[in-house]
Amino acid sequence: MNFLPICRQDMLDRGWQQCDFVYVIGDAYVDHPSFGHAIISRVLESHGYSVGIISQPDWKNPKSIDIYGRPRLGFLVSGGNMDSMVNHYSVSKRRRKTDAFTPGGVMGKRPDYATVCYCNLIRQTYTDVPILIGGIEASLRRLGHYDYWSDSMKRSILLDSQADILMYGMGERSIIELADALNSGLEARDITFVDGTVFRAKELDDSLPTLVLPAFEEVKANKKLYAQSFKIQYANCDPFTAKRLAEPYGKEYVVQNPPQKPLSTQEMDAVYELPYCRTYHPCYEKAGGVPAIEEVKFSLVSNRGCFGACSFCALTFHQGRIIQTRSHESILKEAELMVKDKDFKGYIHDVGGPTANFRHPACQKQLSKGTCGGRQCLYPTPCKNMDADHSDYVALLRKLRKIPGVKKVFVRSGIRFDYLLADKKDTFFKELVQHHISGQLKVAPEHVSDAVLSRMGKPKNAVYNRFVEKYYALNKQYGMNQYLVPYLMSSHPGSTMKEAVELAEYIRDMGYNPEQVQDFYPTPSTLSTVMYYTGLDPRTMDSVYVPTDPHEKAMQRALIQYRDPKNYYLVREALLAAHREDLIGSGPKCLIRAVPPIAGGHSAPPQKVPAKAGGKKPGAQAGKKTPGKSTVKKTAPSGARGKRR
């Protein structure tokens, strides 16, 4: 197995005089199937196309994208495995200190809005070479969208990048169709027929059913119209039922074709069995390697897609709701390769995907008729037609445990606890507790207020409570002492100070001590981000309270970490604003004492707070907010957990 070329000499050493495609990426070059550029380049290679990699070029120097010369068919451009703005900035818009996708974790090796920057760099040298953009940054910005970092509506990234075609979602099928079309001599402007792509058009094709969205200038001026437009986009993410969408921009349109169809198990196997080197390029050794590989090197991808459809998650918009899986044989073959790695210590870190315990579609009809348009599979309650069955996943995990050299197989990617509870058999739950947890299990209830959970598209808190009780009952049954680490989110749309205090009380009763807290982060093209910007829930067009004032957000965040002495004044202020003075004092239910801590607290009280915490009403200008999760540490002994109920 050899890496693809990263410089002109590598290309010449392969006997090539020219690359078919030059792939410009915002990440370091890591030839592992957890990295989108590795999959796309290897898929192209398997179909006979030559690909040269340009990783993290100097965006201030046009020559940095010209190291191979003119590609025969076109440039491919991706900002990386993360949106470059999420990669660069925290939810408070502060610059992050490290970049896990860069050699040595060094920050600053890619530009902001990397996809646009790289494409404009290419256009300075090559005005007529086709540019195809893809990856998460392009996928989620494919139509007009709210951009949190500039606090404005932005046009389709296709226009700002000057690219010819945008690939959205998982692009294994679309990239080959596009490559074959270009190879046949078609001009990029004439390739308008590939599923999973977006293109520009002067006029619409009347022979194809097309939904015309409100014009970009209209949604830019009218938040309610944007919420309505996004609802249409969100309803057209299914590959079997989606219509073509057209968004007008002056005298032209940006046209989105329906998503590409799900890969079959055989096709998924073929993708993951390509000859990856399974690590970063050796040229990064001196810099200390690429940190991001550590999380995935000894993990196994078993599925993609997610029918959980959380409001704050972009997976529905990117990968879709239909689950696609690899065969046991393919996964076992990869596991056996892992065992032979000199760095393998006997531990498979994860077997999963976006949601680990989704190993087949929610119901069989999805494979032929698509997902239901007006109904979610799990929210607000599991659909009666949903097939909640972990048998296949259990069988896979058992086989992996038996591989010689494997000491432990962990499940660390997300577990949908409501789906787990919907399975009438306890087999997976029991084996999860017995064999697949590394001391603590991370789950994502996100909040405890049913009002907030409804905006998140998550089950009611009572469902999580049932899961917790059963989890600890099984731990007791098997003589285990394993913890739960719940991910919690502050300042999500719908969370007033009342709900924030409710969450703090829950943390108190459970004995949690959250070590990290992250506010809701408005990333492009999620339902929650639209709520954040418009103050409306696109699903119902109901008005939603949105905490946008930075000080109120700080108070909501501090309530989750009310035990930290540094947060004393913020917590006190929050409790007074919520009229919950009963939680200040020395009683068993109090969150803080009446007297501030002598040492370790704020050096001085924060600035005076308005009597009323500010939030965004429908139509008001958005401030700042954030979707995310919180890492939590349990302080009470495990035996005390059930007492809260």
What residue type is 25 in one-letter code?
A: I
Last residue within a domain, chosen from 225, 256, 287: 256
Q: How far apart are CA 378 and CA 386, in angstroms?
A: 8
- For residues 352 and 210, state if they share a domain: no
The answer on 381 and 311 residing in a single domain is yes
Same domain, 14 and 152: yes
The average confidence (pLDDT) of the chain is: 92
Residue 164 φ/ψ region, left for φ over 0, alpha for ψ in the -120 to 50 degree band, beta for the rest:
alpha
User: Do 360 and 234 share a structural domain?
Assistant: no
- The share of the chain scoring above pLDDT 70, in percent, equals 93
**Interval 183-206: pLDDT, tens:** 999 999 999 999 999 999 999 998
Question: DSSP readout, 211-244?
Answer: EEPPPHHHHHH-HHHHHHHHHHHHTT--TTTPPE
Residue 610 predicted with pLDDT over 90? no
DSSP-H helix ranges across 279-324: 293-296, 315-318
Q: Does the residue 115 lie in any domain?
A: yes
pLDDT of residue 639: 30
For 577, the token pair is 């604003």
Query: In this structure, are 353 and 208 located in the same domain?
Result: no
Predicted confidence at residue 640, as pLDDT, reads 30
> Quick check: 231 pLDDT over 50?
yes
**83 and 218 belong to one structural domain:** yes
Round to whole Å and give the CA distance between 621 and 151.
9
Distances (CA, A) of 392 to 334, 347, 399: 18, 21, 11
pLDDT number for residue 515: 73
**Domain membership flag for residue 165:** yes
Q: What is the dihedral sign for C-alpha 337, 339, 345, 347?
A: positive
> H or E element: which one contains 185?
none
The C-alpha angle with vertex 282 and arms to 272 and 20, in degrees rounded to 5, equals 60
User: 74-78 and 131-134: which strand pairing?
Assistant: parallel
Sign of CA dihedral 153, 157, 159, 162: positive
Q: Please state the domain count of the chain.
A: 2
How far apart, in Å, are the Cα atoms of 122 and each of 5, 10, 52, 71, 571? 19, 21, 15, 12, 51
Statement to judge: residues 219 and 331 lie in one domain = no
Q: What is the CATH number of the domain that holds 350?
A: 3.30.750.210
Q: Which has more pLDDT, 512 or 503? A: 503
Identify whether residues 354 and 224 lie together within a single domain: no
Residue 337 belongs to what domain range?
Answer: 298-438
**Given 410, 438, 466, which residue is the final one in a domain?**
438
Lowest mean pLDDT among 356-365, 575-584, 622-631: 622-631
Q: Would residue 173 count as lying in a domain?
A: yes
* Position 281 in a domain: no
Distance CA 177, CA 132 (A): 12
Q: pLDDT tens digits for 141-164?
A: 999 999 999 999 999 999 999 999
Same domain (yes/no): 219, 338? no
Question: Three-state secondary structure along 312-335?
Answer: CCCHHHHCCCCCEECCHHHHHHHH
Q: What is the mean pLDDT of residues 113-132?
A: 97
In a domain, 44, yes or no: yes
pTM equals 0.91
**Given this model, what pLDDT does residue 368 score?**
83
Lowest mean pLDDT among 231-240, 249-258, 334-343, 591-600: 591-600
pLDDT of residue 616: 53
Do 242 and 305 share a domain, yes or no? no
**pLDDT score of 550 more than 70:** yes
Q: Quick one: 58 and 206 in the same domain?
A: yes
> What value does the CA radius of gyration of the chain take, rounded to a whole number of Å?
25
The pLDDT confidence band at residue 599, using thresholds 50, 70 and 90, is: low
Determine the pLDDT at residue 364: 84
User: Is residue 462 assigned to a domain?
Assistant: no
**b/e burial code for range 357-367 (CB count within 10 A of at least 16 → b):** bbbbbbbeebb
Q: Does a structural domain hold residue 337? A: yes
CA end-to-end span of the chain, whole Å? 56
What is the distance between the alpha carbons of residues 432 and 426, in angstroms, rounded to a whole number? 10
Whether 2 is covered by a domain: the verdict is no
Q: What is the CATH number of the domain that holds 152?
A: 3.40.50.280
> How far, in Å, CA of 160 to CA of 120, rounded?
9
Instruction: Report H helices in 436-587.
Output: 450-456, 461-477, 497-510, 527-534, 550-560, 568-577
In terms of domains, do 38 and 179 share one? yes
Is the separation of the CB atoms in 544 and 536 below 8 Å? yes
Instruction: Determine the average pLDDT of the residues in 483-511.
Output: 95
Tokens of 290: 């690429």
Domain boundary among the residues 407, 438, 469 is at 438
Residue 416 CA, distance from chain mean position: 15
